[in-house]
């Protein structure tokens, strides 16, 4: 059992359950881990809910960093601040927060510019450690357990930098708003911030997972006239319609290349595409195979644009609260993307569902 830190004394190390990956693709094992006190400008969070994102699964399966095991994955989470480190003034014990995999220090060149969400101090962490001191906050019997994206929410408690957490209202449902800490926000932002989808335009979306469906609803809210969803899973047609998809294409049912079909449907090509098209193309998410992208120079000369998108271009601390408000006011859909609610002890089932393409988002309930 985790020991609650006394508010009148400095936080001490605690022990709790965590789902630990001991090697690439190996089933997660429930272990008792020690979680260190939060360091300067850090907070320790009692995780309430965490959803399984495709990037968690991709990183868990990847053999590219075999030295970063044992490791605790998870990054799309909500929780309650259990203790705060030295210098933290923004958060207090008891605050409800979302964790974010890229932070916002609000003092580096990129943060000050207001044009970039690529914080130079709290950017995407790839070494399995904390940003501040390049060390871990987890251990088992004195040996380090590595982090994922400096979040590691597949644990009952975790430590994050205060710049990688966003305060939310106490009445927002924690088991649903956690989706805004990655996938849903990434899709909404790709359409609104990066592509800037316009009214009356045509949009094509390759892949109708959580991110793709969020792109669809964002395009619908912008007034796009044709929103084409492309997916090999026929069950995605009905779900896509609920999020704004007007036309559905299953490439496995076509007798000609999908790009030719899209050209015919859009009179020459879509205005905006998310992963392919003729006008503005936005790439987002984690590639399943080769990360390299190649294109003939003539395509660029003809006016096509290729853009990348990380977290939809949102600045986490500056912009995420507005999305939480939109969710609370029922302006954006989130709940419909949750297909499974799973107890923490059954977390491996969530990974299996993701690998089998039988879910959108599985929400893990840490208290169960």
Classify the C-alpha dihedral 70-74-79-85 as positive or negative.
Answer: positive
What pLDDT score was predicted for residue 308?
A: 80
> What token pair was written down for 320?
């995420």
DSSP string, 146-191: B-STTT--SBSEEEEEGGGEEEE-TTS-HHHHGGGGTHHHHHHHII
Q: How far is CA 88 from the centre of its chain?
A: 25
What's the alpha-carbon Rg for the chain, to the nearest Å? 21
What pLDDT score was predicted for residue 301?
A: 59
Angle, to 10 degrees, between the axis of helix 54-61 and the axis of helix 347-355?
90
Name the architecture of domain 14-181+333-365.
Alpha-Beta Complex (3.90)
Domain boundaries, the chain: 14-181+333-365, 184-310
> What token pair was written down for 185?
């926000």
End-to-end Cα, the chain, rounded Å: 14
> Residue 357 in contact with residue 233, Cβ under 8 Å?
yes
What pLDDT score was predicted for residue 288?
A: 59
Q: Flag whether the pTM goes above 0.85.
A: yes
Name the architecture of domain 184-310.
3-Layer(aba) Sandwich (3.40)
Residue 194 CA to residue 16 CA, distance in Å, equals: 40
Map residue 235 onto helix, strand or coil. Answer: coil
Classify the C-alpha dihedral 169-171-174-180 as positive or negative.
Answer: negative
Q: Read off the DSSP letter of residue 252.
A: G
Residues of the chain predicted below pLDDT 70? 1-8, 276-281, 285-291, 297, 299-304
> What token pair was written down for 153?
């929410």
**Which residues on neighbouring strands pair with residue 252, listed in sequence order?**
none
> What token pair was written down for 228?
């084409």
> Residue 212 in contact with residue 252, Cβ under 8 Å?
no
Question: CA of 133: how far to CAs of 53, 130, 140, 161, in Å?
Answer: 27, 6, 19, 11
**109-149: pLDDT as tens digits:** 999 998 889 999 999 999 999 999 999 999 999 999 999 99
Shortest CA distance to 362 belongs to which of 336, 341, 334, 335? 341
Backbone angles phi, psi at 184, to 5 degrees: -65, -45
> Residue 220 in contact with residue 227, Cβ under 8 Å?
yes
């Amino acid at each position: 059992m985790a020991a609650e830190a006394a508010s009148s004394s400095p936080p001490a190390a605690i022990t709790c359950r965590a789902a630990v990956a001991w090697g690439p693709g190996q089933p997660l094992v429930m272990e008792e881990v020690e979680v260190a006190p939060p360091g300067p400008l850090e907070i320790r969070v009692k995780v309430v809910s965490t959803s399984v994102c495709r990037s968690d699964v991709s990183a868990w399966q990847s053999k590219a960093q075999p030295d970063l095991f044992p490791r605790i994955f998870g990054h799309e989470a909500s929780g309650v601040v259990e203790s705060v480190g030295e210098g933290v003034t923004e958060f207090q014990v008891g605050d409800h927060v979302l964790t974010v995999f890229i932070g916002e220090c609000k003092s580096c060149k990129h943060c000050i510019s207001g044009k970039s969400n690529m914080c130079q101090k709290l950017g995407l962490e790839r070494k399995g450690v904390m940003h501040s001191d390049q060390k871990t906050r987890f251990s088992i019997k004195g040996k380090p357990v590595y982090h994922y994206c400096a979040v590691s929410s597949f644990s009952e408690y975790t430590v994050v930098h205060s710049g990688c957490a966003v305060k939310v209202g106490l009445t927002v449902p924690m088991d649903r708003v956690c989706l805004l800490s990655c996938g849903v926000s990434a899709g909404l932002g790709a359409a609104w911030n990066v592509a800037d989808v316009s009214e009356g335009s045509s949009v094509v979306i390759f892949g109708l997972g959580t991110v793709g469906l969020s792109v669809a609803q964002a395009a619908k809210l912008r007034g796009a006239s044709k929103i084409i969803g492309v997916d090999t899973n026929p069950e995605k047609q009905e779900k896509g319609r609920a999020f704004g998809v007007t036309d559905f294409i299953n490439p496995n049912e076509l007798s000609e290349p999908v790009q030719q079909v899209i050209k015919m449907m859009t009179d020459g090509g879509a205005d905006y595409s998310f992963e392919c098209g003729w006008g503005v193309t936005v790439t987002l998410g984690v590639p399943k195979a080769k990360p390299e992208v190649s294109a003939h120079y003539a395509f660029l000369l003809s006016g096509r644009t290729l853009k990348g998108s990380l977290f939809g271009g949102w600045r986490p601390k500056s912009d995420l609260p507005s999305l939480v408000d939109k969710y609370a006011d029922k302006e954006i859909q989130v709940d419909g993307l949750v297909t499974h609610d799973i107890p923490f002890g059954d977390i491996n089932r969530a990974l299996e569902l993701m690998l089998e393409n039988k879910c959108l988002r599985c929400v893990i309930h840490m208290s169960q």
